[in-house]
Amino acid sequence: METKVFSVPNISCHHCVHTIQNELGDLDGVRKVQADEATRKVTVTWDAPASLEKILATLKEINYPAAE
């Protein structure tokens, strides 16, 4: 199991948090998603078949790209 915290500057409201948690939560292998609008951070815990690449691609696809 892997856990990573992503900085997502586009988070600005509860709707953003809800969208991120739903979209990432739908990925196979994602165990937990916690987004915080105050800190603009997203914490994701996952196992295979989810991967860092899939998570980053999904965030970009839903217009909440993680900061480098």
Domain covering 2-61: architecture: 2-Layer Sandwich (3.30)
* 40 three-state secondary structure: coil
Provide the angle, in degrees to the nearest 10, between the axes of the packed helices 14-25 and 52-61.
140
| Confidence band, pLDDT 50/70/90 cuts, at residue 68 | confident
Domain boundaries, the chain: 2-61
- 17-65 pLDDT, tens digit per residue, is 999 999 999 999 999 999 999 999 999 999 999 999 999 999 999 999 9
Contact predicate 11/17, CB 8 Å = yes
